[in-house]
Protein backbone atom coordinates (compact mmCIF):
# COMPACT_ATOMS: atom_id res chain seq x y z
CA UNK A 1 0.00 0.00 0.00
CA UNK A 2 1.37 3.40 -0.96
CA UNK A 3 1.74 6.02 1.70
CA UNK A 4 -0.56 9.05 1.06
CA UNK A 5 2.04 11.38 2.60
CA UNK A 6 4.65 10.21 0.06
CA UNK A 7 2.12 10.61 -2.73
CA UNK A 8 1.34 14.14 -1.57
CA UNK A 9 5.04 15.11 -1.57
CA UNK A 10 5.48 13.67 -5.05
CA UNK A 11 2.36 15.48 -6.23
CA UNK A 12 3.61 18.83 -4.90
CA UNK A 13 7.01 18.42 -6.61
CA UNK A 14 5.37 17.29 -9.82
CA UNK A 15 2.96 20.23 -9.81
CA UNK A 16 5.84 22.65 -9.23
CA UNK A 17 7.66 21.23 -12.25
CA UNK A 18 4.56 21.49 -14.42
CA UNK A 19 3.93 25.08 -13.28
CA UNK A 20 7.49 26.05 -14.22
CA UNK A 21 7.00 24.54 -17.67
CA UNK A 22 3.71 26.43 -18.09
CA UNK A 23 5.40 29.68 -17.03
CA UNK A 24 8.17 29.11 -19.58
CA UNK A 25 5.65 28.54 -22.38
CA UNK A 26 3.76 31.69 -21.35
CA UNK A 27 6.97 33.73 -21.33
CA UNK A 28 7.92 32.40 -24.77
CA UNK A 29 4.49 33.30 -26.09
CA UNK A 30 4.83 36.84 -24.73
CA UNK A 31 8.28 37.25 -26.31
CA UNK A 32 7.03 35.92 -29.64
CA UNK A 33 4.25 38.51 -29.72
CA UNK A 34 6.81 41.25 -29.12
CA UNK A 35 9.10 39.96 -31.86
CA UNK A 36 6.18 39.63 -34.28
CA UNK A 37 5.14 43.25 -33.81
CA UNK A 38 8.76 44.45 -34.00
CA UNK A 39 9.59 42.61 -37.23
CA UNK A 40 6.31 43.47 -38.95
CA UNK A 41 6.75 47.17 -38.12
CA UNK A 42 10.41 47.09 -39.19
CA UNK A 43 9.42 45.49 -42.50
CA UNK A 44 6.70 48.07 -43.08
CA UNK A 45 9.11 50.91 -42.35
CA UNK A 46 11.28 49.81 -45.26
CA UNK A 47 8.35 50.55 -47.64
CA UNK A 48 10.51 50.59 -50.75
CA UNK A 49 7.72 48.99 -52.78
CA UNK A 50 4.62 46.83 -52.55
CA UNK A 51 6.71 43.64 -52.49
CA UNK A 52 8.47 44.75 -49.31
CA UNK A 53 5.13 45.27 -47.65
CA UNK A 54 4.05 41.79 -48.70
CA UNK A 55 7.19 40.45 -46.97
CA UNK A 56 5.67 41.72 -43.70
CA UNK A 57 3.28 38.76 -43.89
CA UNK A 58 6.20 36.33 -43.51
CA UNK A 59 7.13 37.19 -39.91
CA UNK A 60 3.43 37.57 -39.09
CA UNK A 61 2.58 34.00 -40.12
CA UNK A 62 5.80 32.47 -38.76
CA UNK A 63 5.35 34.03 -35.33
CA UNK A 64 1.60 33.32 -35.40
CA UNK A 65 2.37 29.62 -35.87
CA UNK A 66 5.09 29.64 -33.19
CA UNK A 67 2.78 31.38 -30.73
CA UNK A 68 0.07 28.80 -31.44
CA UNK A 69 2.62 26.03 -30.89
CA UNK A 70 3.57 27.38 -27.46
CA UNK A 71 -0.07 28.02 -26.50
CA UNK A 72 -0.98 24.50 -27.63
CA UNK A 73 1.72 23.00 -25.41
CA UNK A 74 0.84 25.28 -22.52
CA UNK A 75 -2.73 23.99 -22.70
CA UNK A 76 -1.50 20.40 -22.74
CA UNK A 77 0.55 21.03 -19.60
CA UNK A 78 -2.46 22.63 -17.94
CA UNK A 79 -4.37 19.43 -18.67
CA UNK A 80 -1.43 17.42 -17.28
CA UNK A 81 -1.60 19.59 -14.15
CA UNK A 82 -5.26 18.64 -13.71
CA UNK A 83 -4.45 14.99 -14.39
CA UNK A 84 -1.80 14.95 -11.65
CA UNK A 85 -4.17 16.55 -9.15
CA UNK A 86 -6.84 14.00 -9.97
CA UNK A 87 -4.69 10.82 -10.04
CA UNK A 88 -1.53 11.34 -7.98
CA UNK A 89 -2.98 10.67 -4.54
CA UNK A 90 -4.21 7.26 -5.69
CA UNK A 91 -1.16 6.07 -7.57
CA UNK A 92 2.45 6.84 -8.38
CA UNK A 93 2.03 5.75 -12.01
CA UNK A 94 3.83 8.09 -14.41
CA UNK A 95 5.58 9.69 -11.44
CA UNK A 96 7.41 12.88 -12.52
CA UNK A 97 6.70 12.02 -16.13
CA UNK A 98 6.39 15.36 -17.92
CA UNK A 99 5.14 13.80 -21.14
CA UNK A 100 1.76 15.10 -22.24
CA UNK A 101 0.95 11.95 -24.20
CA UNK A 102 -1.58 10.73 -21.62
CA UNK A 103 -3.60 13.96 -21.91
CA UNK A 104 -3.18 14.46 -25.66
CA UNK A 105 -6.12 12.27 -26.66
CA UNK A 106 -8.41 15.01 -27.95
CA UNK A 107 -7.93 16.54 -31.37
CA UNK A 108 -9.28 19.78 -29.94
CA UNK A 109 -5.84 21.17 -29.06
CA UNK A 110 -4.06 20.80 -32.38
CA UNK A 111 -1.66 23.62 -33.23
CA UNK A 112 -3.60 24.58 -36.36
CA UNK A 113 -6.82 24.91 -34.39
CA UNK A 114 -5.01 26.87 -31.71
CA UNK A 115 -3.89 29.38 -34.35
CA UNK A 116 -7.52 30.36 -34.77
CA UNK A 117 -8.37 30.51 -31.09
CA UNK A 118 -10.04 33.72 -29.92
CA UNK A 119 -6.93 35.20 -28.34
CA UNK A 120 -4.54 34.54 -31.21
CA UNK A 121 -6.97 35.42 -34.00
CA UNK A 122 -7.69 38.75 -32.32
CA UNK A 123 -3.99 39.63 -31.87
CA UNK A 124 -2.58 38.38 -35.18
CA UNK A 125 -5.77 39.07 -37.13
CA UNK A 126 -5.60 42.72 -36.15
CA UNK A 127 -1.98 42.89 -37.33
CA UNK A 128 -3.02 41.20 -40.58
CA UNK A 129 -5.80 43.77 -41.11
CA UNK A 130 -3.39 46.64 -40.34
CA UNK A 131 -0.90 45.35 -42.94
CA UNK A 132 -3.69 45.13 -45.52
CA UNK A 133 -4.89 48.65 -44.62
CA UNK A 134 -1.32 49.97 -44.87
CA UNK A 135 -0.91 48.33 -48.27
CA UNK A 136 -4.19 49.83 -49.52
CA UNK A 137 -3.35 53.32 -48.23
CA UNK A 138 0.13 53.19 -49.74
CA UNK A 139 -1.24 52.01 -53.09
CA UNK A 140 -3.93 54.69 -53.14
CA UNK A 141 -1.42 57.41 -52.28
CA UNK A 142 0.83 56.25 -55.12
CA UNK A 143 -2.10 56.29 -57.54
CA UNK A 144 -3.16 59.80 -56.43
CA UNK A 145 0.37 61.16 -56.82
CA UNK A 146 0.54 60.10 -60.46
Q: Which residues contact 76 (CB under 8 A, 6 or more apart)?
A: 100, 103, 104, 109
Q: How long a stretch of residues is the chain?
A: 146
CB neighbours (10 Å) of residue 92? 16
Residue 127 three-state SS:
helix
Give this prediction's pTM: 0.79
Task: Answer whether residue 104 shows pLDDT above 70.
Answer: no
- The C-alpha atoms of residue 55 and residue 119 are separated, in whole angstroms, by 24
Task: Answer whether residue 28 shows pLDDT above 50.
Answer: yes
Domain regions of the chain by residue span: 4-145
Could you read off the pLDDT of 35-90 as tens digits, one per residue?
999 999 988 888 666 677 778 899 999 999 999 989 988 888 888 888 777 776 66
- The C-alpha atoms of residue 105 and residue 99 are separated, in whole angstroms, by 13
Task: Answer whether residue 1 shows pLDDT above 50.
Answer: no
Amino acid sequence: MENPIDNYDVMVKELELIQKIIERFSRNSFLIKGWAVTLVVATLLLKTNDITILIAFLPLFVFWYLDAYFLHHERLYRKLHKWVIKHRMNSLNHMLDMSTMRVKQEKKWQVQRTMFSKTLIFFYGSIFILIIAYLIILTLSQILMQ
